Amino acid sequence: MRIALIGFGGVGKAFIELLHDKHEILKSMGLTLILKSVMNSKGGIYNPMGIDPLRLIEHVHQGGELCEFPDEGIRKETFQNLIMRRDVDLLIETTPTNNKTGEPGLTHISKALERGFHVVTANKGPVLLAYKQLCTLAAKSHVQLGIGCTTGGALPTINAGRFDLAGAQILSIEGILNGTSNYILSEMEERDCSYEEALKQAQQMGIAETDPSLDVEGWDTATKLLILTNILMEEEHKLREIRVEGITRLSPQHIQEAKKEGKRLKLIGKAEKGNNRTALTVGIEALSQDHPLFNVNSTNKAVRYITDTLGDLTVIGGASGTTPAAASILRDIINIYKGYPFV
């Protein structure tokens, strides 16, 4: 399978490393991934015979720029050239998320699907804003759109809901969908420290971003919840409809008071079907010890589905970080290769 990668940040680089590390396992499945094109915001490289993942990673680790990769046969690449050539089977799109316009990812994904490329993306923006339209393009071109990375990285939230709950009506979705916030809450409970101290620790460990606002204010959770709800419950909600509360106002006293009652504070995203509408909320909940999400700690995530005929399904775990996110992209690629229908 011939592939191209657009977006060469942490997840993109981790994916290139996985191509090398998992080569033999993929080969045993009968799957050979030939990396022909890699692009970032500064430009791109293309080799019709394939780019060596190991050499590219070594070049980057030594401080080299992508566009300066000194490999034989390398040519300059643009997205327009990639689309016009049509010499790849699948595009991996990992550019930064833009929840307002979806760009530039929305254009990348739309054009690739129109030209008959499978697409696997880690980019939440296009999925949030235009999932149905993208599915229509994919179906028209008889290709697949993999989005498993967008709602929990390594945690198989979308795939579990789509495949393992097939035929059942999902009545509610609730989840711990942000590893950064969950880590901070766990640290506040275990160390009896302030939010600021726990955040600083998370940033020093590379768990929290320099600007963690999307995570700690609940908007990353809201975005993931919205994608899950609209796709799995087949509804059409907007981000502005969700009542969102983050964790920034929590004090150690709040944490310890809940602990004395045998409860644990968690940032929960929840979608519940009512008589006339589905209510979507993101906020702090005090979970009792018998709740399925009570013991989901540190950077772990979880999602719980309640259905009409298959009962409850809770999926817990899924490591956080760039490598697990890249691994979830690889998972979707393998499943597309095996013929699983995503659209």
**What is residue 280's predicted lDDT score, i.e. its pLDDT?**
97
- Whole-number average pLDDT of the chain: 95
Q: Are 170 and 313 in a shared domain?
A: yes
Q: Are 66 and 116 in a shared domain?
A: yes
Q: Which domain holds residue 47?
A: 2-154+322-337
DSSP-assigned letter for residue 95? P
The model's pLDDT over 163-213, given as tens digits with 9 standing for 90+, comes to 999 999 999 999 999 999 999 999 999 999 999 999 999 999 989 989 999
Nearest alpha-carbon partner for 9 in 328, 322, 320: 322
Q: Are 132 and 178 in a shared domain?
A: no
Q: How far apart are CA 74 and CA 77, in angstroms?
A: 9
Domain count, the chain: 2
The model's pLDDT over 310-327, given as tens digits with 9 standing for 90+, comes to 999 999 987 778 999 999
CA atoms within 13 A on the CB side of 16: 28
**What is residue 115's predicted lDDT score, i.e. its pLDDT?**
97
pTM reported for the whole predicted model: 0.93
Q: Is residue 117 part of a domain?
A: yes
Q: Is residue 342 part of a domain?
A: no
| Residues 232-253, mean pLDDT to the nearest whole number | 95
The model's pLDDT over 41-51, given as tens digits with 9 standing for 90+, comes to 999 999 999 99
How confident is residue 72, by pLDDT bands cut at 50, 70 and 90?
confident
Q: Is residue 247 part of a domain?
A: yes
Known catalytic residues are 224
Q: Is residue 73 part of a domain?
A: yes
Residue 268's φ and ψ, nearest 5 degrees, are -115, 130
